[in-house]
Amino acid sequence: MKILCWNVQGLGMPRTVRRLQHMLRDINPSVVFLSETKLRSAQMAQVRRRCGFINVIDVDAVGRSGGLSLGWKNNCGVSLCSYSQRHIDVIINEDSDGNIWRCTGFYGVPEEQHRAAAWNLLRQINDMPEIPWVIIGDFNEIAYSNEKQGGLTRSERQMSEFRRVLSDCEVEDMGYRGRWYTWEKGNFATNNIRERLDRGLRIPHGSTCSHTICWSIYHTPSRIIVLFFWRLMWLPTSTNSGILDLNQHGYWRKHTNPR
């Protein structure tokens, strides 16, 4: 399965929408997670029509910031678990054999003073140990100093807090191939900054995980689009009660305040 993950930094520009159209055609992913759409539902509906999205969960932007969108193909069964301004959490049924796994699209808080709430959100939704779990997105944080080049030195306390939440949730980094950084700023050697802010995390579920590979394949002026390949072998077939099934509705949008 291919999962396309991209911080689009706004889908209001026709050029960005065209780039998304080209990527969807070239990569043909089964699942797409977009962060920082900076659009509300009516605007995202227009983007969906242009890009051929059929099954989508959107979280509206607040003002001119935020906005999430998770889309998937008809050959995937998707059930919603939870959502907020920072995440969309779903269960994915890949095939008729009942093989299921969990996918969470996550967008970290850019402001350091609000990151504790984002990390606590990850701890809060870490409540299904029986299902393999993949977390993808822009975490807006690095785990180690070697994931940043140029600019001011990152606080060890900030990195330690990020590593602590990964340890608390018992997730591991899926690694990457290609460029090590996913965000870049500055065109000259004197002001160039590179950081690995986007990543894929997973909780392996015993022998159920065959292998996981993640690497970047597209490079935009400031953000690398990250493509994940996720392959599963045997998985438990137990059902999960209390989860909203989206297969019959295709598109579900929040109408209440996110938790």
We report the CATH number of the domain holding residue 209 as 3.60.10.10
Does the predicted model carry a pTM greater than 0.75? Answer: yes
What's the whole-number average pLDDT of the chain? 80
Supply the pLDDT for residue 98. Answer: 66
Q: Pick the range with the lowest mean pLDDT from 22-31, 90-99, 199-208.
A: 199-208
Q: Which residue has the higher pLDDT, 59 or 259?
A: 59
Supply the pLDDT for residue 257. Answer: 37
| In-domain check, residue 48 | yes
For every residue of 3-51, which 3-state class applies, written as one string? EEEEECCCCCCHHHHHHHHHHHHHHCCCEEEEECCCCCHHHHHHHHHHH
| In-domain check, residue 259 | no
Q: What percent of the chain has pLDDT over 70?
A: 77
| In-domain check, residue 256 | no
pLDDT, tens digit, 9 for 90 and up, residues 239-249: 333 333 333 33
* Burial of 208 (C-beta count, 10 Å sphere; 0-12/13-18/19+): middle
CB 20 within 8 A of CB 27: no
Supply the pLDDT for residue 84. Answer: 95
Q: What is the residue range of 160's domain?
A: 2-250
* CA atoms within a 13 Å half-sphere pointing along the CA-CB vector of 77: 14
> Total structural domains in the chain?
1
| In-domain check, residue 56 | yes
Residue 1 has pLDDT above 50, yes or no: yes
Rounded mean pLDDT, 147-159? 95
| In-domain check, residue 49 | yes
pLDDT, tens digit, 9 for 90 and up, residues 185-230: 888 989 999 999 998 888 865 434 433 445 554 545 556 566 655 5
| In-domain check, residue 257 | no
| In-domain check, residue 15 | yes
| In-domain check, residue 255 | no
Let me know how long the chain is: 259
Residue 178 has pLDDT above 50, yes or no: yes
